[in-house]
Amino acid sequence: MGTVGPMPSPARQLPFDPIAEARRHWDERWSGGAAMAAATSVMRAQQIVLAQVDEALKPFGLTFARYEALVLLTFSRRGSLPLGKMGERLMIHPTSVTNIVDRLEGQGLVRRVPHPTDRRTTLCEITDEGRELAEKATAAVTAVGLGITGLSDREVDQLFRLLAKMRRAAGDFVAAADPS
């Protein structure tokens, strides 16, 4: 299976699940068809989620990465975090944090400020405009279910627990027994 493109329009929907079909062929030749189908489904689901969330964020001039950074700052006690801590929490490379903060700063949504006690550290601080935009953008992404559609609340919780279990096994994080 190659890279899957954007979600087909309703007029172009396939009359079958191509991932299930690929699994059938895979199982005829090799072992691990269930894992291949699950991995491909996760990747396709990610494309669907990102497409829907990006579409909801477009009117606000935000990408998902910039939106995540704004939300992270709104969750912080003081509305600011060191750039390094942002990278850890967002699970991205320091260069990516710098690029995200540069863009948000250019939009007037955050500002860089010196750390009050550590001269070597720069904080990223959300502005009032950033808080307002984060609220509006959150209403928009919530309205599209953050791209997670077709599942009940219980199924969404189950999906989260299963993916957290997989992420934990891959060493993504260490957590207590119950990830929720």
Backbone angles phi, psi at 66, to 5 degrees: -70, -40
Cβ density class 81-116: b for 16+ within 10 Å, e for less: bbbebbbeebebeeeebeebbebbeebebbeeeeee
Task: For 22-93, list the strands marked E by DSSP.
Answer: 80-82
Q: Is the model's pLDDT at 3 over the cut of 90?
A: no
Give all domains of the chain, ordered by start, each with its CATH number. Answer: 16-59+143-168 (no CATH), 61-141 (1.10.10.10)
- What is the band of 160 on the pLDDT scale with cuts at 50, 70, 90? very high
Mean pLDDT taken over the chain: 92
Residue 179, number of CB atoms within 10 A of its CB: 14
Q: Give the pLDDT mean for 35-61.
A: 97
Q: Is the model's pLDDT at 5 over the cut of 90?
A: no
pTM (2 d.p.): 0.85
| pLDDT digits 0-9 by tens, 125-145 | 999 999 999 999 999 999 999
Q: Give the pLDDT mean for 69-78.
A: 97
Q: Is the model's pLDDT at 64 over the cut of 90?
A: yes
pLDDT attached to residue 8: 46
Residue 73 or residue 13, greater confidence: 73
Q: Is the model's pLDDT at 10 over the cut of 70?
A: no
**For residue 96, which amino acid is it?**
S
Alpha helices in 58-127 (DSSP H): 64-75, 83-90, 94-106
What is the percent of the chain where pLDDT is above 90? 89
Q: Give the pLDDT mean for 24-39.
A: 97
- What is the band of 1 on the pLDDT scale with cuts at 50, 70, 90? very low
C-alpha closest to that of 147 among 7, 24, 19: 7
60 touches 136 (CB < 8 A): yes
